[in-house]
Amino acid sequence: MQQVSIKKNIELLKKLSLDMYEKDFLLTWEKSFDEVQATILVAEALKEMHRTNISTRIFDSGLGISIFKDNSTRTKFSFASAVNALGLAVQDFDEKKSQIAHGETVRETANMVSFTADVIGIRDDMYLGEGDRYQREVSEAVQYGYDKGILHQRPTLVNLQSDIDHPTQSMSDLAKLKDYFGGFENLKGKKIAMTWAYSPSYGKPLSVPQGVIGLMSRFGMDVTLAYPEGYDLIPEVVEVAKKNAAASGGKFEIVHSMDEAFKDAHVVYPKSWAPYWVMQKRTDLLRSGDHKGLEELEKQALANNAKHTDWECTEENMKLTQNGAALYQHCLPADITGLSCKQGEVVRSVFDRYIPDTYHQASFKPFVIMAMILLGKVSNPAQKLEELITKGIKRQY
């Protein structure tokens, strides 16, 4: 791990042009390149402050609302950690998981829970066309309440995973890559293989691979997306990645062979997902309440998956990577062959070798979320960080 200098990060932060105050963080590609970098710089600074026992509280009181429409332990804890370290209390909003609310219901509820809320974190990744849409409805709802003087503050929304993007994950992945290669500038030209891998489970969201190709393509990386024919991602996001790569001087290509993707890769990210058309059909069937159709679809999807059990990260294909020693990334938990399932995304020996790395990768998430919140709540983040350092209140007294 690299040594982080809080002061250096603050100096770099000062040079960036930001428009994040009172804004949400929903998709990384809605943020400027400066804003993406700022988020990482602030996250690193906050992480270093936590490590060196300096308080990161910017609130005396206030609520951080979590809305999880999908089960989650890790992201829930990361959000709780972030909210707490800033001085807020978490309050869970338990909407029924399958409930797809719109319009006045969303507007009213969002306002009713937000009278003292400073941030709202939402995970809604299960249904294509729903997650991101719901987050935008909540965002408009609290903007309405704020404009009408009902809410005293404009809660910042943080996307904790939608159907489109998983920015708190991809930004953590990025933070790990920056640390691993020693700076944003060193990402240029590095090959990352974001590749599908076999899993015995069904309906894994697309937001992780989409988040990775949509973000890493901005840093001049050589992004290779690999999957068996038919396992496409949302076309609009693939377009985003293509444009990003063109703009950043990187590369983006799609291949249908894991070996080809792994060839000379500096980073591999083997991870299962459900095909785009399956997720879309699933949403349609759910909307029409076709339970028999849903069962059929699951059967069919699992049968399709079963044809691709050879899409597995092994000692053999790891040898194809740069010096046979690419960094293995995963958002965790992984499907580990012979450990968490009979046949999965990765063999145990590879997974085990990279445990300190995948843990380290995950360890950025609470601080990435903190950074997203801080940048939405504070008009001059560099000054705020300097204030915190100068005050130097200890986290543990």
Residues within the interface to its own copies (CB under 8 A): 1, 50-51, 55-63, 65, 73-74, 77-78, 80-81, 84-87, 89-91, 93-94, 103-105, 108-109, 111-113, 115-118, 145, 148-153, 332-333, 336, 339-340, 352, 355-356, 359-360, 362-363, 365-366, 377, 387, 393-397
Given phi > 0 = left and psi -120 to 50 = alpha, else beta, which region is 149? left
Total length of the chain: 397
- 166 or 282: CB nearest its own copies: 166
- 110 or 225: CB nearest its own copies: 110
User: Closest distance between its own copies and the C-beta of residue 397, in Å?
Assistant: 5
User: Closest distance between its own copies and the C-beta of residue 89, in Å?
Assistant: 5
- 101 or 285: CB nearest its own copies: 101
- 324 or 397: CB nearest its own copies: 397
User: Closest distance between its own copies and the C-beta of residue 85, in Å?
Assistant: 5
C-alpha dist (Å) from residue 342 to 198, 259, 312, 315: 11, 22, 12, 17
User: Closest distance between its own copies and the C-beta of residue 386, in Å?
Assistant: 13
Burial label for 395, CB within 10 Å (0-12, 13-18, 19+), is middle
Tell me the three state secondary structure of residue 288: coil
Separation of alpha carbons 158 and 180, rounded Å: 26
Separation of alpha carbons 195 and 209, rounded Å: 8
User: Closest distance between its own copies and the C-beta of residue 384, in Å?
Assistant: 8
- 112 or 306: CB nearest its own copies: 112
Residue type, 368: V
- 13 or 113: CB nearest its own copies: 113
User: Closest distance between its own copies and the C-beta of residue 135, in Å?
Assistant: 18
**Beta-carbon count within 10 A of 219 CB:** 27
Q: What are phi and psi of 327, to 5 degrees?
A: -70, 130
